[in-house]
Chains A and B, each alone.
Chain A
Amino acid sequence: MSLSNILDNLSRFRQDAESERYGHHDYEHRFGMAIDLDICIGCNACSTACYAENNLPVVGKDYFEQGQAMHWMRIERYWDDEELEHPERGASFIPMMCQQCGAATCEPVCPVAATYHTPDGLNAQVYNRCIGSRYCSNNCPFRVRYFNFWSFYESSWPEPLNQQLNPDLSVRDKGVMEKCTFCIQRIRVAKDSAAREERNMIDGDVITACAQACPTNAIVFGDTMDPTSQVSLAWKKHEVKRGPYTHKEAKSDEEIRGYRVFDELNVDPSVMYLERVRDSEV
């Protein structure tokens, strides 16, 4: 089904841009995030929570230095003053995970359709179908896809640590690509319980591991198609819209800080960031 979806719809992948149906899906949900970089303290709690929730292997220092770390959620650091090792104003942090792009560059390049767009607006990765060509990773502007170059099961979870693995998702083995799923296992549970109670999903039913762990509540997660959800309100307040990028739109107010990373690449990311406010600028 997903293969036919890609084959049938690839030609209008970026067409139909002005309409509601930008992209190629009849969406049921479009999960998204709003991350306030002014509140983010760079504590890495989100990353740690992600490791625990999503069965991410700890690869060790050597592999990490080779760029083979498997952190679906990582904190990137940026220095204002590059010459100083510890500048006065400190670093800026940006939590970077898969942006679940509406027009994702990773999807059309997969030779076996192992990555595709779900009706939830997520970029899914089907591990069983993945053949490890790594084309998607090379095509991702955010560099948030991680390839299992090795099998980490033995080294990362020696007995009895394997008891801590989350049974709601598989442990990936050597040779497959993996990436942030916006905690699909939690979304699945929330959908199941909503169906059991015969209601629609409401805001707050799902919270991702990173958003849950964030000590300053910098991460807000929700359905951007639900106009009353917190994340929708944040997007609206900070004047960030879904859809294609045409030009940099001026904000109505200088204090409005919302932006999407690499918006100009026209990939329609689902994560909105709020710029950090510097003391000197206030």
Chain B
Amino acid sequence: MTATKKMKFMVSVFAFAVFAFVLPATSLADLPVPAHIIPPVGEHSGEHVPQPIDFPHDRHVNDMKINCMYCHTYARRSAVAGIPPTSKCMGCHKMIATDKPRIQKLTEYWEKGESPKWKKVHDVPDYVHFSHEKHIRKFVDKADFPVEDVQQVCGLCHGEVKAMTVAEKVKPLNMGFCVRCHEANDGPGDCWKCHK
């Protein structure tokens, strides 16, 4: 075995070890699934979407225990969850962590009166009507599910956001994914409920 071949072999062994042992270990730390929901099935490895500022979801969710709907406030009352206005960020970050480079970049945007051009990560095609509000009503409000744990419901389609920095698409969000969940959880099966 030549040196380069040996190197290649070592690399492949290492890569195998990573994929076989390390990655499953991280995905094992999945969110608990709420008891009243049969979760949709499907995995997806989304491309990394570069954002103007690398917003750390993990810091906000894990360390600060901020609810998803504190920032994505429209989720419970409209079709889209919404991205918070810069003023909402600045509500905290006028005072907090102002020495960090990412916050300084945010402050720059704020002082210029501009919003960071956030990129959409979870996007369904234009011919699909998806309403966050209806799903929150069914699985949280109507089910008397504690709003503090809403990330478990959000996580069914958005994955474990608390383990991500910038949000990544980890669920396929295709028609099969939606329909299997609709069938399992007694959602509507009429084409025109979702297709427009």
Which residues on A are within 8 Å of B, measured CB to CB?
1-2, 116, 118-120, 122, 124, 126-129, 167-171, 184-185, 188, 192, 195-196
CA distance A129 to B190 in the complex (A): 14
Check A195 against B127 for contact (C-beta < 8 Å). no
Binding stretch for chain A, among B9-17, B42-50, B66-74, B128-136? B128-136
Main secondary structure, interface of A, reads loop
Chain B min CB distance to A197 (Å) = 12
> Closest CB of chain A to B188's CB: distance in Å?
9
- Which residue of A118, A124, A170 contacts B127 across the interface (Cβ within 8 Å)? A170
In the bound complex, do residue B137 and residue A195 qualify as a contact, i.e. CB atoms below 8 Å apart? yes
User: What is the chain B residue whose CB lies nearest that of A28?
Assistant: B190
Chain B residues near A116 (CB-CB < 8 A): 191
A185 partner residues in chain B, CB cutoff 8 A: 196
User: CB within 8 Å of A: which of B172-196?
Assistant: 189-192, 195-196
Tell me the dominant secondary structure on chain B's binding face: loop
CB-CB under 8 A from A1, the residues of chain B are 189-191
B126 within 8 A of A: yes
Chain B residues with CB under 8 A of A169: 196
Question: Which B-chain residue is minimally distant from A171 (CB atoms)?
Answer: B126
CB atoms of A127 and B190 under 8 A apart: no
A73 to B137, CA, bound (A): 36
Contact B192 A124 (CB under 8 A): yes
| Contact, CB under 8 Å: B189 / A118 | no
Q: Contacts A118-B190, A126-B191, A170-B126 given; indicate if A184 touches B196 (C-beta within 8 A).
A: yes
* Given contacts A1-B190, A2-B190, A170-B127, A128 and B134 within 8 Å (CB-CB): no
- In the assembly, what is the distance between CA of A122 and CA of B195, in Å? 14
A128 touches which one: B129, B137, B195 (CB < 8 A)?
Answer: B195
When C-beta atoms are compared, the residue in chain A nearest to B175 turns out to be A128
Question: How many inter-chain contacts with C-beta < 8 Å in the A-B complex?
Answer: 44
Q: Are A184 and B192 in contact (CB under 8 A)?
A: yes
Q: Contact check, B133 vs A127: say whether CB atoms are below 8 A apart.
A: no
Contact B196 A168 (CB under 8 A): yes
Q: Does the CB pair A192–B131 fall under 8 Å? A: yes
Name the CB-closest residue of B to A168.
B196
Contact B190 A170 (CB under 8 A): no
Q: Which residues of B contact A119 (CB under 8 A)?
A: 190
**A195–B134 CB distance below 8 A:** yes
Residue numbers of B with Cβ under 8 A of A are 77, 126-127, 129, 131, 133-134, 137, 189-192, 195-196
Query: For residue A195, which residues in chain B have a CB less than 8 angstroms away from its CB?
Result: 134, 137
Which residues in A have their C-beta under 8 angstroms from that of B192? Answer: 118, 120, 122, 124, 126, 184
Known contacts A128-B195, A170-B196; is-contact A192 B189 (Cβ 8 Å)? no
15 A–B pairs (Cβ distance < 8 Å), ordered by A: A2-B190, A116-B191, A119-B190, A122-B192, A124-B190, A126-B192, A127-B195, A128-B127, A129-B191, A168-B129, A170-B126, A171-B126, A188-B196, A192-B133, A192-B134
> Contacts A170-B127, A170-B196, A185-B196; is A124 near B191 (CB within 8 Å)?
yes
Q: A167: which B residues are within 8 A, CB to CB?
A: 126
Tell me, in angstroms, the Cα distance from A249 to B165 when the chains sit together: 71
Q: Which residues of B contact A168 (CB under 8 A)?
A: 129, 196
Q: Name the A residues within 8 Å of B131 (CB-CB).
A: 192
Chain B residue with Cβ nearest A114: B191
B134: chain A residues within 8 A (beta carbon) = 192, 195
Q: In the complex, A168→B80 CA distance in Å?
A: 13
B173 to chain A, nearest CB (A): 15
Residues in B whose Cβ lies below 8 Å from that of A124: 190-192
Across the interface, which residues of A come within 8 angstroms of B126, CB to CB? 167, 170-171
Are the CB atoms of B195 and A196 closer together than 8 Å? no
Q: Decide if B191 touches A127 in the complex (CB within 8 Å).
A: no
A168 to B196 alpha-carbon distance, docked (Å) = 7
Chain A contacts of B129 at CB under 8 A?
168, 188
Chain A residue, CB-CB nearest to B182: A1
Would B195 and A126 count as touching, CB distance under 8 A? yes
| Nearest neighbor of B189 in chain A, beta-carbon distance | A1
CA A128 to CA B195, docked complex, whole Å:
9
In the assembled complex, the CB of B132 is this many whole angstroms from the nearest CB of chain A, namely 11
Contacts A2-B190, A126-B191, A188-B196 known; list 16 others, CB within 8 Å: A1-B190, A2-B191, A124-B190, A124-B191, A127-B127, A129-B191, A168-B129, A168-B196, A169-B196, A170-B127, A171-B126, A184-B196, A192-B131, A192-B134, A195-B137, A196-B77
